[in-house]
Amino acid sequence: MDLTVALITVLVGLLVILIIYQMTYWPRKGIPHVPTIPVIGSKYVSLFFGRTSVADFSEDLYKNFPDAKYFGVTMWNQTIIILKDLDLIRDICIKNFDNAPDHRSFVDERMDPILGKNVFSLKGDRWREVRSALSPSFTASKMKFLFQLVSKVSEDFTQYLLDNPEITKLIETKDAFSRYTNDVIATAAFGINVDSMKHRDNEFFFRGKDATNLSGTKRVLKFFAGITFPRLMRFLGQTYLSKETNKFFINLIHDTVTMRDERGVMRPDMIQLLMRARDSSGIKIDMDDIVAQAFIFFLAGFDTTSTLMSFLCHQLAYHPAVQQKLREEVDEVLEDKEFSYEMLAKLKYMDMVINETLRLYPPATFLDRVCEKPFELPPALENSPGMTTDRGVTFWVNIYSIQRDPKYFPEPENFDPERFNEENKANIEPLSFVPFGIGPRKCIGERFGMMETKLVLARIIHKFTVLPSEKSTEKIEIAKNSLSLTPKGGIWLKLQPRT
């Protein structure tokens, strides 16, 4: 009985200390901050329970202190500084990168071996080693190396749509493009051929859907629990991926690498590039590292690229003049020629259309950095003091809302690719458009994502007219039960074959 009372007393004491720390942290720092609520941190934790969409969460948070360069907010036990001033963002993410070089990982390798060892989650010197070993695999020359694989998948995908006109009369584009990106990554990263349009229940697609699912209360809570209470999650033996999905990808990549080593098999894909980095970079890269990097390539490309394509086709359906101009460019560049890597560089208007879609719907709504060394911030407001950041504080850059700020993009809700023409893009404020991230931590797979997007978009525009359907609406509603920009109910369109 005495032990129980003592334990309860200790827990209550720790809770009181936590509450006092939460409630006094920002007032002690003397900077603008969102009011703190004991234990939960702030009203914004409603995101974690599916009561608001990540888009509304982003916009509501960004509207605080419109004249401040930054402000503070607490979520659970995490102290977060929301960066709003572009010069300050540059100082932290680029100029003084070593002061805050890492992401706030939602998992480490002890909790989940695959997710914990990938280049996104790695920290410090190990991140630098792996990033430098992987960077040569994502150059323009290496994209040419992978081009034929991706081109064949985009051709097969488009041909399937042509051969099955009944499904193009009403097609859920997010599902369709997820199958395309699944097949692209299966062949380009894992060295296997999958046709997810024909074989709709194949295990590779099923495991990919499971791994990239950021929807549902259970998955959302597990995501934030991994960030906020990592030691507790490790103690409870919780992994982010399901055990079956984890095992599937580990065995698949392990068997592929072992077979190629034993038989001397060479294939123009990402596994081969990772094996080459293992053998020639001078940096220790073992089987676990290859599994982790191949998987993050899958994780980053499966959902984000298919979502971009869905949003893009939706905009084309409701902006027929833009679609027609894009089609004229594609028809002119193709002229019945075979697709080539060099041909993609000529699609300038397509670049504009993709960039405008990325502005409205960036792959990640927030960018984060964790303070490693104390950093002197300037005054947040004209008459307020500056502050010294504590080690462990998280910086957030609200990409979604910055790219929709009328200060940087007039009439931001309008879809206008001309913002990115040669004349106008020179006037875009630096760091106001950063869909792939900022500085040394910028997305390593940007070139690949753009290549697979342009390839399939060119083929579809060349063969189809994209139209609204009876299930589509011009305004897209973002789902509340997802941490990504997921369209509620999907994006249903009509693909009408061109005569």
For tokens 């299966």, the residue is: 186
Query: The tokens of 446 are what?
Result: 């940007």
User: In the structure, what pLDDT confidence band is assigned to residue 354 with cuts at 50, 70 and 90?
Assistant: very high
Q: What Å distances lie between residue 233 and 78, 197, 291, CA to CA?
A: 16, 37, 22
* Residues of the chain above pLDDT 70, percent: 91
pLDDT of residue 169: 95
* pLDDT surpasses 90 at 15: no
The region of weakest confidence among 7-16, 183-192, 301-310 is 7-16
Tell me how far the alpha carbon of residue 40 is from its chain's centroid: 26
User: In the structure, what pLDDT confidence band is assigned to residue 432 with cuts at 50, 70 and 90?
Assistant: very high
The whole-number average pLDDT for the span 175-204 is: 87
* pLDDT surpasses 60 at 215: no
Does residue 443 have a known ligand-binding role?
yes
Q: Starting from the edge strand earliest in sequence, which strands make up the sheet with 464-468, in order?
A: 171-172, 492-497, 464-468
Cα separation of 168 and 15, whole Å? 57
Return the SS3 of 397. Answer: strand
Rounded (5°) CA angle 414-417-418: 105
The whole-number average pLDDT for the span 268-289 is: 77
Cα separation of 324 and 192, whole Å? 36
pLDDT of residue 167: 94
Query: The tokens of 130 are what?
Result: 């792996």
pLDDT of residue 16: 80
Beta-strand runs (E) in 387-444: 387-388, 394-398
pTM > 0.75: yes
Tell me how far the alpha carbon of residue 331 is from its chain's centroid: 31
* pLDDT surpasses 60 at 431: yes
Q: Which of 307, 409, 428 is nearest to 365 (CA)?
A: 307
Mean pLDDT is highest, among 253-257, 302-306, 361-365, 416-420, for 416-420
* pLDDT surpasses 80 at 255: yes
User: 251-286: b or e for each residue (b if 16 or more CB lie within 10 Å)?
Assistant: ebbeebbeebeeeeeeebbbbbbbbebbeebeeebe
Amino acid at 62: Y
Q: Which of 273, 216, 241 is nearest to 448 (CA)?
A: 273
* pLDDT surpasses 70 at 65: yes
* Residues of the chain above pLDDT 90, percent: 51
* pLDDT surpasses 70 at 229: no
Mean pLDDT is highest, among 100-104, 209-213, 263-267, for 100-104
Q: Starting from the edge strand earliest in sequence, which strands make up the sheet with 78-83, in order?
A: 70-75, 78-83, 394-398, 366-370
Contact 74/36 with Cβ under 8 angstroms? yes
The whole-number average pLDDT for the span 46-60 is: 87
* pLDDT surpasses 70 at 344: yes
The region of weakest confidence among 55-59, 176-180, 181-185 is 181-185
* pLDDT surpasses 70 at 220: no
User: In the structure, what pLDDT confidence band is assigned to residue 124 with cuts at 50, 70 and 90?
Assistant: confident
Q: Are strands 78-83 and 70-75 parallel, antiparallel or unpaired?
A: antiparallel
* pLDDT surpasses 70 at 130: yes
pLDDT of residue 206: 82
Tell me how far the alpha carbon of residue 265 is from its chain's centroid: 32
Amino acid at 17: I
pLDDT of residue 227: 58
| φ, ψ of residue 27 in degrees (nearest 5) | -60, -35
* pLDDT surpasses 90 at 96: yes
The region of weakest confidence among 66-75, 125-134, 217-226, 419-428 is 217-226
* pLDDT surpasses 60 at 486: yes
Write down the H helix ranges in 169-269. Answer: 173-188, 203-211, 217-228, 230-235, 243-263
Q: Which of 406, 432, 297, 420 is nearest to 357 (CA)?
A: 420
* pLDDT surpasses 60 at 101: yes
Rounded (5°) CA angle 94-97-98: 160
What's the whole-number average pLDDT of the chain? Answer: 87
The whole-number average pLDDT for the span 271-293 is: 78
Cα separation of 328 and 341, whole Å? 19
Cα separation of 328 and 306, whole Å? 24
Query: The tokens of 133 are what?
Result: 């070993």
User: In the structure, what pLDDT confidence band is assigned to residue 22 with cuts at 50, 70 and 90?
Assistant: confident
User: In the structure, what pLDDT confidence band is assigned to residue 240 with cuts at 50, 70 and 90?
Assistant: low
**CB-based contacts of 286: which residues, under 8 Å, 6+ apart?**
278
